[in-house]
């Protein structure tokens, strides 16, 4: 009997992808649709996010627009509204509805401790800060290092100067107040002269100046646009989603921009508005 031979046929299977499946974009509710709100809305697609709800004073008086129906499917709320909006029920409603939140609004210091306590108790994730610019938060550290050095030098006076556009309501700015807090914590015990200016369209300038009869030393941060603030807020929104606790951006910004890291969620919420 004649043997028959058969040749094995190789079948090429498609290569399996090892890449993780793409995550759906972060669904954002914007509270406040002014300069910052509109900029965040425009930049969101570059940061794997989509704005699905915009609320302002016209459709959210006293936080009444923050309903379970309106916030269904929302991952994170980003608040760049007004201090009154934050204090008159906005943050409390977000806590009650369990929505993770980023707050860049400033000027709500009088209720800050109370509202941050409410946020902790609610179990939501909250990042709040005076300024969401990475450069400004690096500037805080530089300022603290300078203050530690200058605290041991006699004959110097310290002044801080900040300038913003004419539409900014609070003065001194939240960033300036936070800067002063950092300088004090670093050991500066002398007086600090504070000057605020509101003019034109300045995004933000903050300067510390030590002056003596012999010389002057100054350090300054100048924002060229609001884009850095918006990008920082969007990074914070991704970072806080699904992460319970209350965090001060000035204390967790390096973890935020790296996209990971552990945090305790025990930020005391000292005065720190933009």
* pLDDT for 121 beyond 60: yes
Average pLDDT, the chain: 89
What average pLDDT does this structure show over 104-115?
92
| Interatomic CA distance for residues 18 and 58, integer angstroms | 48
Mean pLDDT along residues 198-221: 96
Give the mean model confidence (pLDDT) for residues 144-160.
Answer: 97
> For 35-191, where are the E strands, in sequence order?
49-55, 76-79, 100-103, 125-128, 157-164
Mean pLDDT of 155-164: 97
Domain spans, the chain: 26-132+227-258, 134-222
Encoding tokens for residue 202?
């300045």
Lowest-confidence pick of 21-25, 182-186, 190-194:
21-25
Q: Which residues are part of the catalytic machinery?
A: 164, 168
Q: What is the pLDDT of residue 57?
A: 87
Percent of the chain residues topping a pLDDT of 70: 86
pLDDT of residue 11: 60
Beta-sheet pairing, 157-164 with 49-55: unpaired
Q: What is the predicted pLDDT for the residue at 23?
A: 79
Using the predicted structure, report yes or no on whether residue 17 has a pLDDT greater than 80. no
Mean pLDDT for 148-175 is 94
Burial of 166 (0-12, 13-18, 19+ CB in 10 A): exposed
Please say whether the dihedral angle defined by the alpha carbons of residues 69, 74, 76 and 77, taken in this order, is positive or negative: negative
Nearest CA-CA partner of 182 in 148, 207, 231: 148
| Alpha-carbon distance values, 215 to 194, 206, 211, 226 (Å) | 20, 20, 6, 33
- Cβ 220 vs Cβ 205: under 8 Å: yes
147 neighbors 187 (Cβ within 8 angstroms):
yes
The pTM of the whole model exceeds 0.75: yes
Mean pLDDT calculated for residue range 80-92: 93
Question: Comparing 26-132+227-258 with 134-222, is the CATH topology the same?
Answer: no
Provide the percentage of residues in the chain whose pLDDT is more than 90: 77
| Angle, helix 134-150 to helix 227-240, in steps of 10 degrees | 100
Residue 21 pLDDT more than 90? no
DSSP letters spanning 174-224? HHHHHHHHHHHHTT--S-EEEEEEE-TT---EEEEEEE-SS-EEEEEEE-S
206 half-sphere exposure, CB direction, 13 A CA radius: 25
pLDDT score, position 47: 95
Closest CA to 192 of 164, 151, 231: 151
Question: What is the pairing mode between strands 49-55 and 192-198?
Answer: unpaired
pLDDT score of 261 = 54
Superfamily holding 134-222: Dihydrodipicolinate Reductase; domain 2 (3.30.360.10)
Task: Kindly report, residue by residue over 215-266, the tens digit of the pLDDT.
Answer: 999 999 999 999 999 999 999 999 999 999 999 998 899 999 887 655 545 5
The whole-angstrom separation of Cα 253 and Cα 138 is 9
**pLDDT above 60 for 269:** no
CATH architecture of the domain covering 26-132+227-258: 3-Layer(aba) Sandwich (3.40)
Pairing of strands 192-198, 157-164: parallel
pLDDT of residue 14: 60
């Amino acid at each position: 009997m004649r043997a028959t031979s058969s040749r094995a046929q190789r079948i090429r299977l498609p290569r399996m992808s090892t890449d993780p499946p793409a995550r759906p974009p972060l669904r954002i509710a914007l509270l406040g649709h002014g300069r910052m709100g509109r900029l965040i809305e425009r930049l969101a697609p570059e940061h794997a996010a989509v704005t699905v709800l915009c609320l302002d004073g016209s459709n959210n008086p006293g936080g009444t627009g923050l309903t379970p129906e309106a916030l269904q499917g929302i991952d994170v709320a980003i608040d760049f509204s007004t201090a009154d909006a934050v204090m008159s029920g906005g943050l409390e409603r977000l806590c009650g509805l369990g929505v993770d939140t980023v707050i860049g609004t400033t000027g709500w210091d009088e209720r800050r401790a109370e509202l941050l306590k409410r946020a902790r108790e609610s179990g939501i994730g909250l990042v709040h800060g005076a300024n969401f610019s990475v450069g400004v938060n690096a500037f805080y550290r530089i300022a603290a290092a300078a203050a530690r050095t200058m605290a041991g030098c006699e004959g110097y006076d310290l002044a801080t100067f900040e300038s913003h556009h004419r539409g900014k309501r609070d003065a001194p700015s939240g960033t300036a107040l936070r800067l002063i807090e950092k300088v004090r914590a670093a050991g500066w015990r002398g007086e600090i002269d504070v000057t605020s200016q509101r003019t034109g369209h300045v995004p933000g300038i903050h300067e510390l100046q030590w002056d003596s009869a012999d010389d002057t030393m100054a350090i300054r941060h100048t924002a060229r646009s609001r884009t850095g603030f918006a990008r920082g807020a969007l990074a914070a929104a991704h970072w806080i989603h699904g992460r319970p606790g209350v965090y001060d951006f000035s204390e967790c910004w390096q973890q935020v921009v790296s996209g990971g890291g552990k945090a305790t969620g025990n930020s005391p919420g000292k005065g720190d508005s933009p």
